[in-house]
Structure 1
Amino acid sequence: MENLVEMLQELKIPFAYDHFAEGESPEPPFICYLIPGSDNFAADGRVYFKLNEVRIEMYTDFKDVALESRLEDVLDRHEIFYNKSETWIQSEKLYEVMYSFDMEGLNNG
């Protein structure tokens, strides 16, 4: 998880795990990231290789291709294969661009 935080710091925009506390949400753009699950590999009856599912949700008040490119450059530099999706959240008047990928967990092998 430290590597993930270090990667997000490279963007120099606010980010938080899962959500910002009520009333503390910054103005867009900002990022929420979470680790909603895992896809671990078992060997000899134990978790042998930890693989975490990661989601990075980037929120902007307009379609920001340049910021998306910056985030994708960071993921590419760290050799992360990702999938991307996008949605308009009408109630919040925000675009959400979500990047999902798997990231190696700690203490593998």
Structure 2
Amino acid sequence: MDDVVRLLEETGVPFAYDHFAEGESPDPPFICYLLPQSDNFSADGKVYLKVSSVNIELYTDSKELDVEQKLEAVLDTHGIFYDKTEVWIESEKLYEVLYSFEMEV
């Protein structure tokens, strides 16, 4: 998880694991990240390589391509292959751009 934190620090965007405490959420843009599951590689009946799924959720109140490009540049610089999806969250009046990838932990 330290590697993910270091990546996110490079973006300059405020971030928290899973969520910000109620009332402490910064104004958008901000990031929440999760490591929702593992996809470990086994050999000889043991975990040989620990791999974690990583979700980086970028929240903005308007489409902010410059922030997305900054985050993508950090991921690209570190050679991270990611998938990207986007959704408008009506109840929050925020866009969520989700970056999903796997990382060795």
Q: How far does residue 44 in structure 1 lie from its aligned partner after superposition? A: 1.4
RMSD between aligned residues: 0.6
Aligned residues: 105
Q: Which residue of 2 aligns with 1:29?
A: 29
Tell me which amino acid in the other structure corresponds to 1:59.
Y
Q: How far does residue 71 in structure 1 lie from its aligned partner after superposition? A: 0.4
Q: Distance in 1 between matches of 2:41 and 2:50?
A: 6
The runs of 5 or more residues in structure 2 that have no matched partner are none
Q: Which residue of 1 aligns with 2:79?
A: 79
Q: Distance in 2 between matches of 1:3 and 1:30?
A: 18
Identity %: 65
Matched, 1:41 2:41: yes
Q: How far does residue 3 in structure 1 lie from its aligned partner after superposition? A: 1.3
**TM-score of the superposed pair, with normalisation by structure 1:** 0.94
Q: Distance in 1 between matches of 2:92 and 2:13?
A: 19
Q: Which residue of 1 aligns with 2:93?
A: 93
Q: How far does residue 12 in structure 1 lie from its aligned partner after superposition? A: 1.0
Q: Which residue of 2 aligns with 1:103?
A: 103
Moved over 2 A (4+): none
